[in-house]
Structure 1
Amino acid sequence: MYEELREQIIMLKLHPGRSISENEMSTTLEVSRTPIREAFLRLAQEKLLEIYPQKGTFVALIDLDYVEEARFIREHLERAIIKEACKSFDSNSLEKLENNFEQQKNAVEKKDHTKFFELDEEFHQTISIGADKERIWSIIQQMNAHLNRIRMLSLRANYNYELILDQHEEMINAIKTQNDIKADHVMEEHTKKLTFEQEGLKKEFPDYFR
C-alpha cells in the first residue's frame, strides 16, 4: 500500500493539499485500514503527507527546499554516472537507450505526459545500469519523491518537451563517442532545467506549493 500511495502522490493523482482518509483509501484500494495507516505513517516521515490529529490527513504541498535538495543530489550523482558511462557502456544498454528515446518521441507526439515521465525515468536508469551503477540509481530514487512531483507538474504543463528530447539525444551521442566532457555538461544542464521553471509553475499552480 505504501508504494501504491507513494506513486499516486508522485504522479499527482493525489494532488498537493488534497485531504485523504484511511477510510477513503481503504475503500478505494480494497484493503483493511491497518496497511493504510502504516503507509500513511511512512509517507508522513517522507514529508509527503501531513497528519493533523483531530483535523485530518493531507497530501503535503510541494516544498521547494526539499525539491532543491533532491535535485542537487541527483545532479551530482548522475553527472558522475554518465561520465562513467562514457568510459564503458555495453551495447545492450545502448540499444535499450536508443529504443527508449524513440518511444519518448512517440509519447510526445501523443501528448502522453505520464508515459513520457515513465520513459524518462527508464532512460536515466538505463544509463546507470549500463555504467554498472544501478545501486546508485536506487539511492537517487529514495531521495526523488519531492523532485518527481514537480517534474510531473512540469510535464503536465507542457514545459520544454523538445528541450528534454534534445538533451537526451545529446547524452546518447556523448556516450557513443565517449565524450565525457560533453556528457557532463549536458547532464548538468538537464538536471538544472527545473530550477528555471519553478517560478512559472508556482504562478500556474499556486495552490500546490508551500
Structure 2
Amino acid sequence: MLLIEQNPQESIREYVYRFLKLNIIHLNLPPGQNISEQDVATQLQVSRTPVREAFIKLAQENLLDIIPQKGTYVSLIDTEQVEESKFVRETLEKEIIQHACTQFPAEELFQLQSSLALQELCISEKNYLRFFELDEAMHGIIFKGCKKSRTWNMLQLMNAHYNRVRILNLKDKAFEWDQLLVQHRELVRAISEQDIVLGAKIIDVHLNKVVVDLEHLRAEHSDYFMQIKRQPFSI
C-alpha cells in the first residue's frame, strides 16, 4: 500500500481513513481483497480503535464489506453506483461549465492553464496517478471558480466507485491519455473564450468516456466488478 504522511491538524482516525480510502481508490487495495484491522494498525503503528472506526466509515460509503465471522473485504465495483455518480456529476457539471463560460476569475483560470502543463508532463512520464490527481484538482478548481466548492465536496462523497473505474481506465495500456488532455485544453479554452457551446460539447464527451469504456473494463477485469443483476424474464 502507498504510505502517506499525517497532516498536522489531522486526527489519527482521519489519517487512517484517508490512507485506506486513497489506497482503495488507487486500487493498491484491489476490489475483493481481504483486509484486517491488525495488519493496518501494525503498518501505520497505531491502535486498532481508529482503524476500526475508519473501517466502519468506509463500509458506510460502500467501499468495504464487513462480514461477521468471515472478515472485511474491499468492495467490488458496483456499476450502478458508477452510472449514478456519472449522472449526478454530468448534470451538475454541465451547469457549472455554463456558468464558468460566462464569468470566471483570472486566478482560477491561471491555475487551470498551469495544470495543463503539469498534465502534459505526467503523460510524458506515464504517471497515471499524478495525472488522475491533477484531473480531479482541475475540475475542483472550476467548481471553486464558480463559488461551488461545497458542491464539489458533496460530489466527492459519492464518486468512489466512479473514480476506481477512472483509475482502472488510466492504468489501461490502450487508454488514450492524449485524447483526455486535448479535452482538458478545449475545456479551458471554452472558459477562457467564454464559449458556452464548446464548453457544453466538451464536458458531455469528457464525462461520458467512463461509461463508454465500462464494458471493456468489465471484460478485462471481471473479478473487480459486482455481477450485473439480471431481471427475471417474463412473457
* TM-score, scaled relative to structure 2: 0.87
- The residue number in structure 1 matching 2:146 is 131
> 1:209 and 2:225 equivalent?
yes
CA distance in structure 1 between the partners assigned to 2:149 and 2:117 by the alignment: 23
Match for residue 184 of structure 1 among 186, 200, 203: 200
Amino acid at match of 1:50: D
Deviation at 1:160, TM superposition (A): 2.1
Once the two structures are superposed, the pairs formed by residues 7-26 of structure 1 within 5 Å of their partners are 7-26=22-41
Once the two structures are superposed, the pairs formed by residues 97-176 of structure 1 within 5 Å of their partners are 97-158=112-173, 159-176=175-192
* TM-score, scaled relative to structure 1: 0.97
Tell me the percent identity: 44
Q: Could you report, residue by residue, the CA deviation over 1:122-152 in whole angstroms, capped at 9, with x for unpaired residues?
A: 1111111112221111111111111111101
SS at match of 1:132: coil
User: Deviating runs (4+, > 6 A) in structure 1?
Assistant: none
After superposition, the CA RMSD in angstroms is 0.9
CA distance in structure 1 between the partners assigned to 2:90 and 2:179 by the alignment: 17
- The residue number in structure 2 matching 1:84 is 99
SS at match of 2:77: coil
Say how many residue pairs are matched.
210
CA distance in structure 2 between the partners assigned to 1:127 and 1:16 by the alignment: 31
Larger radius of gyration between Structure 1 and Structure 2: 2
In structure 1, stretches of 5+ residues that fail to align are: none
In structure 2, stretches of 5+ residues that fail to align are: 1-15, 227-235
Amino acid at match of 1:171: L
CA distance in structure 2 between the partners assigned to 1:51 and 1:130 by the alignment: 39
Q: Could you report, residue by residue, the CA deviation over 1:13-37 in whole angstroms, capped at 9, with x for unpaired residues?
A: 1110100001111111111000111
Q: Hey, which of these two has a bigger chunk of helix by percent?
A: 1
Q: Which has the higher contact order (CA 8 A, sep 6+)?
A: 1
Deviation at 1:174, TM superposition (A): 0.5
> 1:27 and 2:42 equivalent?
yes
Q: Which moved more, 1:115-124 or 1:136-145?
A: 136-145
SS at match of 2:72: strand
Once the two structures are superposed, the pairs formed by residues 35-54 of structure 1 within 5 Å of their partners are 35-54=50-69
- The residue number in structure 2 matching 1:70 is 85
CA distance in structure 1 between the partners assigned to 2:143 and 2:127 by the alignment: 25
CA distance in structure 2 between the partners assigned to 1:10 and 1:33 by the alignment: 22
CA distance in structure 1 between the partners assigned to 2:64 and 2:57 by the alignment: 9
